[in-house]
Amino acid sequence: MGIRETLNKNPAITTAGTIVIILIALGVITWEMLPKSPVKIMSGMYYTDDDGQSTFVDLMNKNPPFDHGGKSAMLAAVFSCNGGKQWVAYVQKYTDDMKATLDDPNHSEISSSDLESNMLVKKPGDTEWLTLSSTKGRELTNVKCPDGTLNGLIRVLPQ
């Protein structure tokens, strides 16, 4: 007697076998869909209150500039090349008007273009703030490694 005849004569065994196969398939699918490493939720950003000489981590919902121990804190854009030394490539803050708007809990919706046109950037040590949306502002934020290449360049975010 072949497999087909055995399965036809024993429908309970056929049903049980089918259910086992389906459960194994569902288990494999579920296993493959699980993340392979723990997912980390980013909640902080790097900031500086000494023009990029040092950084600290604070909540990402801060609207720079903000008070940090009596000093004005800005968002710090921290980079690294090939896992080497980290540096602050530029600092960012909002215009006074945009900061006032963002700090108002009842502010109306703000477009990304309005945010960008009211974001100021500068290199640490410089005195001139540039509008992010300007040509010079875009050039400043087009970061390269110290050797002038993009090899291994990454934006460093807090862990």
> Phi and psi (nearest 5°) for 136?
-65, -35
Confidence of residue 33 (pLDDT cuts 50, 70, 90): confident
* pLDDT one-digit tens code per residue, 108-122: 899 888 998 999 999
Domain ranges of the chain: 3-33, 44-155
Quick: pLDDT tens for 37-78. 666 666 799 999 999 999 999 999 999 999 999 999 999 999
